[in-house]
Structure formats: C-alpha cells, structure tokens
Amino acid sequence: MCGIVGYIGNRDAYDILIKGLHRLEYRGYDSAGVAIIDPDNRLNIYKSRGKVDDLENFCQSKNVSGSTGIAHTRWATHGEPNDINAHPHYSASGKIALVHNGTIENYNVLKEALQLQGCVFKSETDTEVLVQLIEYIKTSNRCTLVDAVREALKEVIGAYAIAVVDTDNPDTIIGARKSSPLVVGIGDGETFLASDATPIIDYTDKVVYLNDDEIAIINRNQDLKIITVDNVPTTIDIHTLRLSVSQLEKGGYPHFMLKEIFEQPRTIHDCIRGRIGNSGSKVTLSGVLENREHFQNAHRIIIVACGTSWHAALIGKRLIQEIARIPVEVEYASEFRYSNPILTPNDTVIAISQSGETADTLAAIQMAKKCGAFVYGVCNVVGSSIARATDSGTYIHVGPEIGVASTKAFTGQVTVLTMLALAMGQLRGTVKDEEAAKITDALRSLPKLIRQTLKLNDEIEKLSGIYTYVHNFLYLGRGYNYPSALEGALKLKEISYIHAEGYPAAEMKHGPIALIDHELPTVVIAPNDELHEKIISNIQQVKARGGSVIAVVTKGDKTIAEIADHTLEIPEVPESISPVIVSIPLQLLAYHIAVKKGCNVDMPRNLAKSVTVE
C-alpha cells in the first residue's frame, strides 16, 4: 500500500530515493519523505504532505548530501495525512529513522509503556512507536542496532515492512518484513531496498525477496546478511528480474491506464503462450500437471480473492463448474478468514491476486494451509508473497500494472482461469474434445479480437461526453457477464468517482428498477448468447421507464440497436470467453468519463494498488 525505498553505496542517495518514490507512486499515497545520513553523520529528514513533486520542491534548498538513506510514500492508516505523520519517523535522540509499511496492531500498549519511561511522541502514528521502541531497547540494553530491531519486532503484533538507519551505524540499513513485501537489490558496490522491484530495475536485475520474520543487514562494506528475528542465519536466494524500464513508462500514452488497456492484445498473447499450442485442444499448465492428484480428487474448490480479482473469481467459478464439474465457492478473502470456514485436505483453495501481496488473501492462504487444504495461486508478480506461500500456481504474465484500476490483470486472470478449467476438465475427463477445441481456438484468437474491439476507442470517447456529469450508473449482465457488470461498475467508480452498481439483469426487478429514470443511465452487457432474449426484455423494461441504455452487443445485433440509445459492437466469441472481450469497452468507457471529469485516472483518490494492510 505504501512505498519504501532504501539505498547505500557510493552515489548520492537522494536522487536514487526520489526516483524510486516516483516509481512507487502507482501504489497510492498521500505524503512522502526521505531520511539521509550526510557525510558528517548527521541525519537529515525531510517530509511533506502531497505528492513526491511537493517533497522535491521542499528539498530544493536543503542539505540532501549523503550516500545512505531511506524514503517513503505513505497512505494514511493511523493519523491524518500531514507533514508530522508522514514518514520517516525518528527517535527521541534524532539518531534513528524508520519507514514502515503495514499496521502495528498493539501500538497503543507499546506506546503507553514507552510513555511511562518518559518517551514523548510527536505524531499520531503507530510507526513512531516502533522507532522509539528500537531506540529504547538499544539504549537500555546497550546492544547493537540489529539486536534492538530484533527485540523490538518480537514485541510487535501486526504487519510490517521496515527500513531503519542510525547515525551510530552510518554504513548500515536494516530491513525487515512480516506480511508486507520487501525486496533487496544487489548492485555493483551498492545495495537497494524497496517494497517491490520497480525502483530497483534501473540499477540492477539481481534481487532477494525477504520472507516473513526475516531481517536484512545491508552494510556498505560487507556482503548482504539475512537472519531471522530469532537470530538464525538464512540462505540468500538471488533472483533475476524479468522486468524492463520501458514497462514502467507510459510509452507515449497520456496515462498508464490507457497504455495498459491497449497492451491487452500482447499481454493475453503472453498469458497463453506455451500453454496452448498453435492447434489442437490440449492445455498445458505445469502447476496442474505436477499436482494432478489434487485436481483429480478435489471434492470442492474454494476461490478467495478481493476486488477485481473477486470478479474474475466469479467467472472462474462458472468456468470450472461447467468444464471440470467440480463444486466451486467464491469468497471474499477478507470475510473468509474470519468466517471459521470448514476446510479439509480434500479441498483445493485457489487464491487470486494481481500483486501477490494482498494481506487478506495471504491470511486466507495461511488459514487454508493450516487446515491441510491444497492451495493454488493465480497472480502476476513473480516472487511475490502469494507466489511463495502457495503450494503451486500459475502466473498471468501480463507485465507490471501501474494504473491503480486493474485492466490487463483482470483479463489475464480470466484467461488463466479459462485455461485452468480446461486443464482440470481434461484431467478429469469431463470436457469433450470438440468443446475444448472450440474454447482453445477462441483463446488463440483473443489477441486479434481484442485489437478489433479496441477500435471502439474513438466512438467511446465521444460517447463518454454525454455521461460525464451523471451521478449514478447501473450495470446489468447475465450468466458469465454478471461479473463483467460488477467489474464495469467498479472501474467507473474507482476512477471517475461516479456511484455505480453492478447487478444480475434478472435481479433488476427486485429493487434497482425503482431507481430508473431519465437521470440514471444503464449499461447492459448483451452479447449473443443463450440468455440474449432474456436481456432484451430487461432493456425494454429500462426504456419503458425513461432510462437511457448503453448496450454492449455482438456485431450485427440489429434487435438491440433498435431499442438501446447507444450500442457498442464487439466480435462474436464463445460465451465462456466473452467476459474478456466485454471488459474492453467497459474499461474504455470508465477511462474516458474520468478523463473528461479531470480525474487522476492512474492514482485515484483514497485508493492503493496493493492492499497490504487490513
């Protein structure tokens, strides 16, 4: 949710830290700050509410010299967004500075204990409690910074990724994590620390992902050392990043979101490459083949996810049930983890997350594993926490998604779930060859079909002007495209701040129809499928009450064209594949309405790309 950057080496830290903070802006934040140890071993901390640009302006006349530093973008959890609550936070002596992602749940207890020892707090944050605790332990026990961090973390309940610097140890940065991501970049005579790999890729492609309860000791003059909170050395596993700087830049587009929408022909090609051949119906997912007994013998599948991933999960439920004939339940991870669920070793849990760092989904995985269930991950980020916590899984391979509102990750998730359903059906013998061939042919055609659908962009841009200043939208869909309606509504409210609701079209009569009038536009997803006649009836009911209708229809649908106010034509595809194609005009509609309203589509207010705290 927040962003951490750290640097130690021979270069000026400030420029690297600021560039890294810009790379992390996509995660969402409301303030930013840096802490740098200068050549005279003085700790200089500068922070401000607002954007990284505001921080840069504030630092223009400041001393930013030094080659050891940490930096942070904050998304407020404890305390309002302001200069005082911004990170880094520092100890009473001014010698130790700390940045922190996550939530310290027992911060009040720790704070009261420290206040009894004379500590005075400047901010409202849980983070300041941790840096004060570290200094108190270091001073009271006359121990090293590393030991003070270890002992402090033993007292902490909650989630954290932290980076710590100390003027008594100017050649050292300490990093640690629990349930919040942290990665170390290994350069040539320099080392980097960050929440994810995006700030690191400019300098090195060699990274180490910290595991829960691990502490990284980064010293200018020594090799990286990693220990556990209990002071047990661990093996250092260096990974090579498959990431390029060009993937993190807009490439001529005005926004990352539009770039990512238009990348989908390529990202879907990358998603299916090597998993289905140029012909035939065979689907090859190594995670399924290597764990065939779990999928062949599964009594039940439970899919856990949040947000957009939950919408993909609803589509996956129908795909798996229809193709593989296994009962499927879909749960919000945030509810599942607190619902005392009944899980057995005969269950398979599928966890879906774009970032692979979603806190609630990670907690659901841990619960499932404790119950003996087999856990399969579907995520985008290689080396992420979910990728490492699950028993097996499949990457969606769509590349980094910078826009907060998910686009290409959603279509990648649905594509992987389609292949997963086919692979399971083929293992279990529940799908006929001709049906599998029909779906795999459609999958192979998806990049071309998406390119065709993207040609609607100019038409949708013009259409969006009519609906820029409405206050509410209704989205309706049926069958496979009921979740598409939910996703379309979510995209609109995420980036345009227009209230929007997604509903199964047949449920409109059970309440939402009361809202329909000339001020409430309705987006109806109506491809030519087995429920086509039913949804025509829904459109007529909306029109009979004075509502305007934007219909997403199969090319050549003259019946709906005569009824709806506007139609957006998509290519004909099998019903099970239609959510991927349907999502394209819905993404474009949300994008263009938000742009016309002057909204920040890449970084919408109050939202974070990866929800790593509860």
Residue where one domain finishes, among candidates 190, 220, 247: 247
CB atoms closer than 10 angstroms to residue 583: 30
Q: Assign residue 197 the CATH number of its domain.
A: 3.60.20.10
Task: Tell me the HSE value of 119 on the side-chain side, using a 13 A CA sphere.
Answer: 26
User: 193 and 299 in one domain?
Assistant: no
Cα 317 to its chain centre, rounded Å, is: 21
Rounded to whole angstroms, the Cα distance separating 201 from 608 reads 21
Please give the pLDDT value at position 559: 93
**In this model, does residue 352 exceed pLDDT 70?**
yes
Identify whether 613 is part of a domain: no
Contacts of 289 (CB under 8 A, 6+ apart): 423
Q: Assess contact for 26 and 76: CB atoms under 8 A.
A: no
Identify whether 214 is part of a domain: yes
Identify whether 601 is part of a domain: no
**In this model, does residue 244 exceed pLDDT 70?**
no
User: 445 and 479 in one domain?
Assistant: no
User: 471 and 403 in one domain?
Assistant: no
Of 32-36, 228-232, 233-237, 511-515, the range with the lowest mean pLDDT is 511-515
User: 282 and 242 in one domain?
Assistant: no
Please give the pLDDT value at position 1: 57
Residue 298 has what DSSP assignment?
-
Rounded to whole angstroms, the Cα distance separating 441 from 538 reads 32
Rounded to whole angstroms, the Cα distance separating 575 from 269 reads 20
**In this model, does residue 384 exceed pLDDT 60?**
yes
User: 463 and 446 in one domain?
Assistant: no
User: 162 and 228 in one domain?
Assistant: yes
**In this model, does residue 612 exceed pLDDT 70?**
no
Confidence of residue 241 (pLDDT cuts 50, 70, 90): confident
Model confidence pLDDT, tens digit, residues 540-565: 888 888 889 999 999 999 999 999 99
**In this model, does residue 10 exceed pLDDT 70?**
yes
User: Phi/psi class of residue 94: alpha, beta or left (left: φ > 0; alpha: ψ in -120 to 50)?
Assistant: left
Show the domain range for 437. Answer: 250-453
Q: Where are the alpha helices (DSSP H) in 142-192?
A: 145-155
Of 29-33, 338-342, 369-373, 558-562, the range with the lowest mean pLDDT is 338-342
**In this model, does residue 266 exceed pLDDT 70?**
yes
What residue type is 166 in one-letter code? Answer: D
Identify whether 322 is part of a domain: yes
CB atoms closer than 10 angstroms to residue 266: 15
Q: Assess contact for 528 and 558: CB atoms under 8 A.
A: no
Q: Assess contact for 375 and 580: CB atoms under 8 A.
A: no
Please give the pLDDT value at position 249: 77
User: 59 and 21 in one domain?
Assistant: yes
C-alpha angle 458-464-470 in degrees, rounded to nearest 5: 180
Please give the pLDDT value at position 159: 86
Confidence of residue 227 (pLDDT cuts 50, 70, 90): very high
Peptide bond just before 574 cis, omega within 30 deg: no
Please give the pLDDT value at position 280: 81
Sign of CA pseudo-dihedral 561, 563, 565, 567: negative
Structure tokens at 163: 């980076």
What's the structural domain count of the chain?
A: 3
Nearest to 202 by CA among 244, 256, 238: 244
Concatenated DSSP letters of 396-441? -------SSS-SHHHHHHHHHHHHHHHHHHHHHT-S-HHHHHHHHH
User: 562 and 578 in one domain?
Assistant: yes
Catalytic residue among 2, 271, 306, 379: 2
Mean pLDDT of 327-335: 94
Distance in angstroms between the alpha carbons of the first and the last residue of the chain? 10
Identify whether 543 is part of a domain: yes
Q: Assess contact for 194 and 69: CB atoms under 8 A.
A: no
**In this model, does residue 337 exceed pLDDT 90?**
no
Cα 571 to its chain centre, rounded Å, is: 29
Rounded to whole angstroms, the Cα distance separating 478 from 275 reads 29
Helix (H) or strand (E) segment spanning residue 205: none
| Residue of higher predicted confidence among 357 and 442 | 442
Identify whether 482 is part of a domain: yes
Q: Assign residue 585 the CATH number of its domain.
A: 3.40.50.10490
Largest CA distance in the chain: 81
User: 314 and 210 in one domain?
Assistant: no
Residues above pLDDT 70, as percent of the chain: 98
User: 189 and 284 in one domain?
Assistant: no
Mean pLDDT, the chain, rounded, equals 92
**In this model, does residue 252 exceed pLDDT 90?**
no
Please give the pLDDT value at position 610: 63
| Residue of higher predicted confidence among 129 and 606 | 129
User: 233 and 304 in one domain?
Assistant: no
**In this model, does residue 608 exceed pLDDT 80?**
no
C-alpha angle 89-137-91 in degrees, rounded to nearest 5: 20
Residue where one domain finishes, among candidates 229, 247, 265: 247
Model confidence pLDDT, tens digit, residues 180-224: 889 999 999 999 999 988 899 999 999 999 999 999 999 998 999
Structure tokens at 206: 């060699």
User: Phi/psi class of residue 2: alpha, beta or left (left: φ > 0; alpha: ψ in -120 to 50)?
Assistant: beta
Rounded to whole angstroms, the Cα distance separating 145 from 120 reads 21
Please give the pLDDT value at position 262: 97
Distances (CA, A) of 568 to 124, 304, 524, 536, 580: 50, 32, 10, 15, 15
Question: Phi and psi (nearest 5°) for 523?
Answer: -95, 120
E-assigned strand segments in 229-337: 239-240, 300-305, 328-332
Of 62-71, 193-202, 505-514, 545-554, the range with the lowest mean pLDDT is 505-514
Identify whether 288 is part of a domain: yes
Confidence of residue 519 (pLDDT cuts 50, 70, 90): confident
Please give the pLDDT value at position 614: 59
**Over the Cα atoms of the chain, what is R_g?**
25
609 has catalytic annotation: yes
Please give the pLDDT value at position 357: 86
Q: Assess contact for 282 and 426: CB atoms under 8 A.
A: yes
Identify whether 260 is part of a domain: yes
Please give the pLDDT value at position 331: 95
Model confidence pLDDT, tens digit, residues 444-471: 999 999 999 999 999 999 999 999 989 9
Contacts of 462 (CB under 8 A, 6+ apart): none
3-state secondary structure (DSSP) of residue 331: strand
Of 76-80, 352-356, 512-516, the range with the lowest mean pLDDT is 76-80
E-assigned strand segments in 122-205: 158-166, 169-178, 183-186, 191-194
Helix (H) or strand (E) segment spanning residue 442: helix 433-454
Residue where one domain finishes, among candidates 404, 426, 453: 453
3-state secondary structure (DSSP) of residue 15: helix
Q: Assess contact for 410 and 416: CB atoms under 8 A.
A: no
CA dihedral 487, 492, 497, 503 (to 10 degrees): -50
Residue 576 has what DSSP assignment?
G
| Residue of higher predicted confidence among 421 and 25 | 421
Please give the pLDDT value at position 59: 95
What's the full length of the chain, in residues?
614
Rounded to whole angstroms, the Cα distance separating 10 from 16 reads 11
Please give the pLDDT value at position 279: 82
User: 162 and 96 in one domain?
Assistant: yes
Nearest to 47 by CA among 76, 85, 78: 85
Structure tokens at 179: 């349930």
Rounded to whole angstroms, the Cα distance separating 81 from 102 reads 16
Rounded to whole angstroms, the Cα distance separating 273 from 263 reads 15
Model confidence pLDDT, tens digit, residues 297-312: 889 999 999 999 999 9
Residue 339 has what DSSP assignment?
S
| Residue of higher predicted confidence among 26 and 327 | 327
Q: Assess contact for 145 and 217: CB atoms under 8 A.
A: no
